[in-house]
Amino acid sequence: MIIVMSRFAREDQIQAVVEKIRSAGLSEHVSRGTERTIIGAVGDERVFSPDAFELMPGVERAMRVVKDYRIVSRDVHPANSIVQVRGLAIGGESIQIIAGPSAVESQVQMDLLAARVRESGAKLLRGGVFKPRTSPYAFQGLGVEALEYLQQAARTQGLPMVSELLDVRLLDTYLEYDVDVIEIAARNMQNVELLREVGRINKPVILKRGPAATVSEWLMAAEYIAAGGNHNIIFCERGVRGFEPSSRNMLDLSAIPVMKQETHLPIIVDPSHAGGKAWMVPALAKASLAAGADGLLLEVHPDPANALCDGDQALTPTELDTLLVELRSLAGALGRSLA
């Protein structure tokens, strides 16, 4: 902790700060400048919050030296971490594509999509089971029945499955169905109970960025998961609330290099929920890889016009094939690979 004293701080006020530091078992380093005195609290600063000093007379400001997020921070783990999902490495040299429908609609739909997703070269299958829609009257997902369809299709094609968990009460069900990657999506990024619960298991978790969350709030949300012991976290940027209506969410490309600097954990991008329109997805997908994303989460539907959820932004399987061909050469140019 660094405590900056005000220009008018008296000697007794400086001493009071020093005493407070010592009483917590830390030591002080006092630097007396011509303008101000700056006091460093040396030791585990977690015992204090900055306002414990800012409320003291003569103190102008106090700030932490170490970031609040620790386990997820690159400071404590400089090398990239790789999250393993059934033998697939996310966060390594290889770019991983997760594809599938916004919502699971039937076994027929999932069987067809799983086969097409695998043929395109995508390595994981997504499918929404419980859908957190803006309107309570919109399709809410088929629920547990859909887990059955997702599992059957995924296992037949040998693809790991990814699905969003909305409610802590359903975690055991997701574990029974052996969902390989649990997605905590945008609306739940700061649902701390959900974060704590997925922190207790060892399944990989995709943590999507909330539409109005800062990068540091996002990292702190991940820290909740990591603090419980689960370090298998994959961040997913999916656009933030902007002012421009032509895209559903404003894809924050700059978050990718920022996250790469701040955390050792992998980051993927969901260009489908960012653009909100299928025609935008290829451009956003390419930009994301160029900015350093470790993978993409793409929505695909065999008949977007009749999709029960997010048809506007769904690629058809043929469009997915074309996009993956383009991404493969881009990955090569970036010194990465897309199998």
| C-alpha span between 130 and 138 (Å, rounded) | 12
Options 95-103, 145-153, 214-222, 254-262: segment touching Mn ion (CB under 5 A): 95-103
Options 101, 128, 141, 271; binder of ligand PEP; rule CB under 6 A = 128
Options 20, 74, 118, 208; binder of ligand PEP; rule CB under 6 A = 208
Options 105, 270, 310, 319; binder of Mn ion; rule CB under 5 A = 310
8/137 with CB nearer ligand PEP: 137
The one-letter code for the residue type at 245 is P
As a whole number of Å, the end-to-end CA separation of the chain is: 47
Contacts of 335 (CB under 8 A, 6+ apart): 93
| Shortest distance (Å) from residue 210 CB to Mn ion | 15
Q: Quote the radius of gyration of the chain (alpha carbons, Å).
A: 23
Binding of Mn ion by 164 (CB under 5 A): no
Half-sphere exposure of 29 (CA within 13 A, CB side): 6
| Shortest distance (Å) from residue 131 CB to ligand PEP | 7
SS3 46: helix
Binding of Mn ion by 102 (CB under 5 A): yes
Residue closest to Mn ion when measured from CB atoms? 102
The listed partner (ligand PEP, Mn ion, none) that binds 238, CB under 5 to 8 Å by sort, is ligand PEP
Options 6-14, 67-75, 180-188, 325-333: segment touching ligand PEP (CB under 6 A): 180-188
| Shortest distance (Å) from residue 102 CB to ligand PEP | 5
Options 21-29, 44-52, 206-214, 310-318: segment touching Mn ion (CB under 5 A): 310-318
Contacts of 322 (CB under 8 A, 6+ apart): none
Binding of Mn ion by 183 (CB under 5 A): no
- In terms of Cβ atoms closer than 10 Å to its own Cβ (0-12, 13-18, 19+), residue 287 is middle
Residues numbered 154 to 173 that lie near ligand PEP (CB under 6 A) are 164
**Alpha helix (H) ranges present in 75-142?**
107-120
The listed partner (ligand PEP, Mn ion, none) that binds 96, CB under 5 to 8 Å by sort, is none
Residues numbered 228 to 247 that lie near ligand PEP (CB under 6 A) are 238
Options 185, 233, 255, 308; binder of ligand PEP; rule CB under 6 A = 185
Virtual torsion, Cα 185, 189, 193, 197, nearest 10 deg: 50
Q: Are 260 and 294 in contact (CB under 8 A)?
A: no
| C-alpha span between 90 and 336 (Å, rounded) | 12
Residues numbered 260 to 289 that lie near ligand PEP (CB under 6 A) are 270, 273
180/310 with CB nearer Mn ion: 310
Count of positions on this chain that bind ligand PEP (CB under 6 A): 10
Options 17-25, 59-67, 116-124, 183-191: segment touching ligand PEP (CB under 6 A): 183-191
Residue 126 forms beta bridges with which residues? 162
Q: Are 158 and 192 in contact (CB under 8 A)?
A: no
Report which secondary-structure segment, H or E, holds 218.
Answer: helix 215-227
| Shortest distance (Å) from residue 165 CB to ligand PEP | 11
Residue closest to ligand PEP when measured from CB atoms? 185
Report which secondary-structure segment, H or E, holds 235.
Answer: strand 233-237
| C-alpha span between 117 and 100 (Å, rounded) | 7
Cα dihedral sign, 120-255-235-186: negative
5/181 with CB nearer ligand PEP: 181
Binding stretches for Mn ion (CB under 5 A): 102, 310
User: Interface with ligand PEP by CB under 6 A: which residues?
Assistant: 102, 128, 164, 185-187, 208, 238, 270, 273
